[in-house]
Structure 1
Amino acid sequence: MAGLSLVAVPGVAQASGGKGGGKPVEGSGKGDMKGGVIYAETKIRTSGNGTKGTAKTGTLTAGDHNWTPPACWYEPAFSPKEIEAQVKAWRGLDLPFLSGIGDFVGDVLDSRYKDGKPYKDYNLDKQGKGMFWAAVKNPNRPDDPAANACNKQPFWVDEGEDSGEPLAVSPQVLAEYAYDEIEIPSTKVTLAPEGETKVNLPTWAWLDKARFKKLSVTATLPDTNLSATTTATPESLRIEPGTKDAETYPASGVCKIGKDGRIGEPYAKGNAKKTPPCGVKYLRSSGDGSYDLKATITWKVSWTSTTDPGQHPMPDGEFGGEQNVVVKEIQSVNR
């Protein structure tokens, strides 16, 4: 059955949701089989001021390159009736180049869920008293090889009981899933002078305070007590001029967020002789082209949950972008 992908019919289930139990949760009843393992669609829902669908340009990349949000987990997915319906749907499948494949898959699944190895009659006598938990692949990371770690067939968990599965959905899994859902605004910085700057002229740089504010996403497994909120707060801006023939302000190129919550300071008339708190000075003309200035914001990230209100740190996130800067050579500058 390696590589086989089959989609089953939808349905509604009632069973325990979340590690440690909780109120019944509706299942989608939808699943597909890959490599012989039945996977389910996640029921996790997200909301907040940073969720997908807002005016956005991208998502965070963890500064710790050894860390990524989970590629897979297990969550309550199918009721007994849904497992029965899936087996029937797969048994009815027949492909021209794989004659009899539907009966083969059906026999394998019947052996597990109907014939007592290990379940009897799809656990229909337990309808409403629990749920089959199934592997779920993170929809944001469908091709991540780490998803292969969730390779168990759906297994039964009585309502209110701990699943006993280390990779089961949990507040931390929800928080890490939410990390992937935070939408970050464009990091294009405002420059003064704008349009083009001059050689040896300190160029001021800053970010729109209204756009760069604290963002949060809450991930919830519906009808359960499982919910977690991940919050990202802008911390600093790193400027890379796009050429070695430049100096940054400060010299490190990293502009910290100020007490007023702003990164950088807008240029104001009369500040021509001042050193910008955040900016760049180009030492050579860009000629007929331009320099690719890269601006990267570092976001401080943490999470809380309904079961643990404490703040839990997560790896800092980064998001950046490039913009063209034209630099012209002149003899003198008046501002």
Structure 2
Amino acid sequence: MKPPPKKDPPPNTITTQVQYKRSYNGPGPKMAPGAGSNWSPPACWYEPEFSPDDFENYLNSHYVSDQNAFADMARRYGAENYHKGDKGTWWELQVPDLSRAGECAGIEDWTFIKPGKPPPNTPTIDPKTLAGLAYAQTVLPAPPVTLKPVPENQLVNLATELAFKLPLPRVTVTASLDNAAAGVHVAATTVAEPYELRVDAGTPDAEPASCTYRLTNQGGTYTLDTHGAPCNVTYRRASPHGGYTLTASIVWKVHWTPSANPDGPAATAPKLPDGESTQPTTVTVRENEAIVH
């Protein structure tokens, strides 16, 4: 086990042992469930921290200057001699987002867990928890779209076509925790695959004002080219000063595997909500009387 820390970390420090491996490390928003979803990532969970001997040392080193606090901790967690001589580990409750601490009210800061299956309703780190944490750490790239005509030269009554500059790969994040001393080795991987592109013209003076396109899977990457598509946004009126804001949004279908392998068997529960990434583009639309319809 790791030795007891000499002092408490700052209140907002995240001390979790969870590690993340990402397939995409570029810019973009973190994935969040869309409107209407009641899913949220875990607010708190237990992680293995100390052997019984190290836990006793931890309490002694932390509360030597406050005997009342030490007596309270010893009463709550030392009634069985800190479980010295027992097989198992002291696990600490992790609450990285203090704004959600209320969701963890009533859960003890420490619990002793014997090897094997933890007690029921104990929120220990497990693949389901890691899947939620990986989801919350997933960053989605903006849609890599190009417009034809170009944004600065859109034309009234001429359809706006879109294409991807480069094929778009799926995005994976693996969350894992390895604690050899406690015999804990768990991992989960979220896989976000681009599914469709939605386009909003940014004005009712377009026909149609929005279009949705399914993306094409080409050997594991996804492409888009709306040339000749039955639905392409067409502006019917020139834009005012400042232009219109055309917004392209990718919907990402998300699943997870209970391992570090993104291509492993997908878990069936819990189902993770879709993600979304957007790219607003200012377009200038002009009249062009020379166009024949």
**What's the TM-score once normalised by structure 1's chain length?**
0.72
| CA distance in 2: counterparts of 1:113 and 1:225, whole angstroms | 25
One-letter amino acid matched to 2:156: V
Change (3 A) 1:30 1:306: farther
- Which segments of 5 or more consecutive residues in structure 2 lack a partner in the other structure? none
Structure-to-structure mapping, 1:160-309, within 5 angstroms: 160-196=116-152, 197-210=154-167, 212-222=168-178, 223=180, 224-248=184-208, 253-260=211-218, 262-265=222-225, 275-276=228-229, 279-306=232-259, 309=265
| Corresponding residue of 1:99 | none
Provide the C-alpha distance between the structure 2 equivalents of 1:33 and 1:83, rounded to a whole number of angstroms: 20
- Output the CA distance in 2 between the equivalents of 1:305 and 1:176: 11
Distance 1:166 1:85, change over 3 A: closer
Match of 1:103 among 67, 73, 76: 67
CA RMSD of aligned residues (A): 3.1
Provide the rounded CA distance (Å) in 1 between the counterparts of 2:14 and 2:6: 8
Indicate if the aligned counterparts of 2:134 and 2:189 stay in contact, CA closer than 8 A: yes
Offset at residue 149 of structure 1 (A): 4.8
Judging changes above 3 Å, is the alpha-carbon distance between structure 1 residues 332 and 89 closer, same or farther for their aligned structure 2 residues?
farther
User: CA separation in 1, counterparts of 2:6 and 2:191?
Assistant: 32
Instruction: Please state how far the C-alpha of 1:278 moved relative to its aligned partner.
Output: 6.0
Say whether residues 1:72 and 2:72 are aligned partners. no
Residue 48 to residue 264, structure 1, CA distance change in 2 (3 Å): same
| Per-residue Cα deviation, 1:222-276 (whole angstroms, up to 9, x for no partner) | 143422121111000111111111124xx76211112545443176xxxxxxx44
CA distance in 1, matches of 2:240, 2:100: 43
Query: Does the residue aligned with 1:143 lie in a helix, a strand or coil?
Result: helix
Identity of aligned residues (%): 30
Corresponding residue of 2:76: 112
Going from structure 1 to structure 2, the CA distance change for 1:81 and 1:317 (only over 3 Å counts) comes to same
CA positional deviation for 1:76: 1.6
Contact 1:298 1:318 in 2 (8 A): yes
Q: Counterpart amino acid of 1:286?
A: S
Alpha-carbon distance in 2 for matches of 1:299, 1:229: 15
- Which of the residues 50, 54, 57 maps onto 2:28? 57
Give 2:2's aligned amino acid: V
- 1:203–1:276 contact (8 Å) kept in structure 2: no
Contact 1:237–1:263 (CA under 8 A) maintained in structure 2: no
Cα–Cα, structure 1 residues 259 and 88, in superposed 2: closer, same or farther, change >3 Å?
closer
Provide the rounded CA distance (Å) in 1 between the counterparts of 2:283 and 2:138: 29
Q: Tell me, in whole angstroms, the C-alpha distance in 2 between the residues paired with 1:309 and 1:150.
A: 36
Q: Is the alpha carbon distance of 1:293 and 1:89 closer, same or farther for their aligned partners in structure 2, counting shifts above 3 Å?
A: farther
Is 2:276 the counterpart of 1:318?
yes
**Shift, 1:288, TM fit:** 1.6
Aligned residue pairs total 278
AA matched with 1:283: R
For residues 17 and 6 of structure 2, the distance between their equivalents in structure 1, rounded to whole angstroms, comes to 11
Deviates more, 1:215-224 or 1:83-92: 83-92
CA distance in 2, matches of 1:227, 1:323: 39
Alignment CA distance shift 1:111-1:311 (3 Å): closer
